[in-house]
Structure 1
Amino acid sequence: MIDLPAGDINWLTFKKEACLIKDRETHLFKIEVDTYFDLIQDTYIDILNDQEITKASRFLKTKDAESYIVTRYVLRNLLAHFVLIPPADIHFHFSSDKKPKVDGIEFNISHSGNFIIIAISLAPIGIDIEFINQNFDFDPLMNAIFNEEESSLINKNADRLLWFYVLWTRKEAILKASGEGLTEDLTKLNVVAPIVGRFDTYFEVKSLLLDQNYVIGLATEVPDSTIHYWNFQPPSLILS
C-alpha cells in the first residue's frame, strides 16, 4: 500500500543549528526558484565555479538558467554546511555511473516548475519531483513503463493521472539512488512495495504530495530512515 502524505508534512523553516547530518537520517530541502534568484543574482558568481557559470550562460530560456543557478548555489551552500568547508571550495567528481559526488556525503536533486528539491544523507539517495500536468495523455506509455500490478493500481484509482505520477516518481527515485539511470525495461522495476531491491541493495521508497500540483518520490538505502523536511525562506539560503 502506498501512502500519500501531504497536509500532515511539517516543512520547517531551515535553521543551521538544527540541521545536522546523522546515520539513518535524510534531509529534504524545498526551494522556490523565483524566491531566491533575485536574492543571489549579484553574488552567485562568487560561489559557482567557471564551468557552472558557463553552463548557465548556455541555457536558451532565462527561467532554465535561473533554476540551474539557484540549484547550484543552494547545493554548494548546503553541502558546505554539512562537510564544513567554504561553498566555493566544494569539489564535485563523478562516479563510474556518471553520478556527481562529494566525498563524505550523499545527495540528489530534482526540479519541476518553480520547485527544487534537494535530498541529503550519508547513504545513497534518490529524489524526483514532477508537476502533475492535467493535459498529459499517459495511456500510450503505460505498457512501456508499468507492469501488470502497477497498471492495475493506476487503473483502480479515480485519479489515474495522479497515480501515474506517483509510480513514475518512485521509479525515477530508485534508479537515481542506485545510480542506474533509466533502464531499458522499466516494467521490470516494480515500485508498488515499500521496499524495492536493486541488485544487492534494498531501497525504502516513499511518496508524498508537495501540494495538489506536485508529486515527490524518495528512495533511501537505509530502511526506516528519519526524514527531516526543510522549507527555505529568505534569508536562510544565504549561508556563505
Structure 2
Amino acid sequence: MTQTEQAPLLSKHILHVWDTELTATESELLLAYQLLAPAEQQKANRFVIAIIRQRYILATAFLRRILSHYLECAPQDVCFRWGVYGKPYLADDTNIQFNLSHSHDRALVVLTRDQEVGIDIERYVARHLDVLSLADRFFSREESCALLTLPAEDRLIAFYRLWTRKEAFIKATGQGLSFGLNNFTVSFQRDDWDCLLSVEDSAKLARRWALGPILQVEPDYTAAVSTQGVIQAVHYNRVK
C-alpha cells in the first residue's frame, strides 16, 4: 500500500474507504496468497474458476494490508472472529470496525471506530436483467413501486443502487440476509446519508443509521456504505 506511511486518524463518525483493483501479476498473486491465513488459503484452493480464486486472494490480502496499516502489525498477524451471522470482526479488543466488499475487479474496505459499518460494491451487468421481477421478490413494496415509475432504460441503474444500499445496510447490522431485504426501504434517488427511509415501517428506527452512496467509484460500478449513528466525513483513498 503506497497511499501513506502512517496510519491516518480514525474516529467514531469518520469513515475511511479504501478502493483497489483486483488485478495482479503471477508474482504479486503469490505474495498476496502468502499473506492469507491457512483457512483462507484452503478456501482459495477450493475455487475451481481461476479468476474467482484470484479475486478472492487479492481482496482478502487487500483487507489484511489495510487493517495492518491501522493496527501497526504485519498483515499475516491480523486475526479475526465472526459474529453469529458470519460478519467478521477483529479478534482482539480494538474498537476498529470494518467491512469488505468486492465485485469483478474492484474491492472496497471501510473502517471506523465504535460503530457497526457495512459496505457494498456492484458492477453494472446483465443489461437484460428482469429487475422488476427481482424487486417484487426481494424488495419492499415502496421500492418496487418506485422502480415501476421509471422509464425502462433507467431501471437497471436504479436497481443496482437499491441493491448496494440495501446490502450495505444489512451488512452493517451484522445480520446479513437474515434481516430480510423487504423489511426496510431505501432510496435510489438521494445522494446524501439519509437514503435509509424506514426500517420495519418505522422512520424513527431508520434515523438510527446513516446510509448513502460512495460517488468516487469507477463509472461501471455503484457502491454504498452504512453505519450506526451519523457520518461526519468520509475519507476516500484509491490504492494500487
* Same fold, TM-score > 0.5, yes or no: yes
Correspondence for 1:205? 211
Distance 1:185 1:178 in 2: 11
Which residue, 228, 231, 235 being the options, matches 2:235? 228
Which residue, 28, 42, 46 being the options, matches 1:54? 42
Which residue, 122, 126, 148 being the options, matches 1:130? 122
Which structure 1 segments of 5+ residues have no match?
1-12, 234-240
Distance 1:208 1:87 in 2: 26
Structure 1 runs of 4+ off > 6 angstroms?
A: none
1:38-187 aligned within 5 A: 38=26, 40-102=28-90, 103=92, 104=94, 105-122=96-113, 123-133=115-125, 134-158=127-151, 159-183=154-178, 185-187=180-182
Q: Is the 8 A contact 1:28 1:119 kept in 2?
A: yes
Secondary structure class of the residue paired with 1:52: helix
Q: Is the 8 A contact 1:108 1:118 kept in 2?
A: yes
Q: Deviations over 1:123-168 (max 9, x none)?
A: 2111111111213222222222223322233233341111111111
Aligned length: 220
Task: Pick 1 or 2: higher relative contact order, CA cutoff 8 A, min separation 6.
Answer: 1
The 10-residue stretch of structure 1 (13-22 or 61-70) with the greater mean CA deviation from structure 2: 13-22
Q: Taking structure 1 as reference, are residues 136 and 169 closer, same or farther at Cα in structure 2, changes over 3 Å only? A: same
Tell me the TM-score normalised to structure 2 length. 0.82
Correspondence for 2:13? 24
Distance 2:168 2:118 in 1: 4
Q: Is the 8 A contact 1:31 1:117 kept in 2?
A: yes
Distance 2:221 2:210 in 1: 20
Q: Is the 8 A contact 1:24 1:226 kept in 2?
A: yes
Correspondence for 1:237? none
Q: What is the alpha-carbon root mean square deviation over aligned residues?
A: 2.3
Residue 184 (structure 1) shift: 6.7
Residue 195 (structure 1) shift: 4.3
Residue 45 (structure 1) shift: 4.4
Confirm or deny that 1:218 pairs with 2:219: no
Tell me the TM-score normalised to structure 1 length. 0.82
Distance 1:156 1:124 in 2: 34
Residue 208 (structure 1) shift: 3.8
Correspondence for 1:236? none
Q: Is the 8 A contact 2:183 2:199 kept in 1?
A: no
Q: Is the 8 A contact 1:196 1:205 kept in 2?
A: no
Distance 1:80 1:147 in 2: 39
Correspondence for 1:6? none
Distance 1:229 1:151 in 2: 31
Q: Is the 8 A contact 2:132 2:144 kept in 1?
A: no
Distance 2:224 2:21 in 1: 18
Q: Is the 8 A contact 1:110 1:129 kept in 2?
A: yes
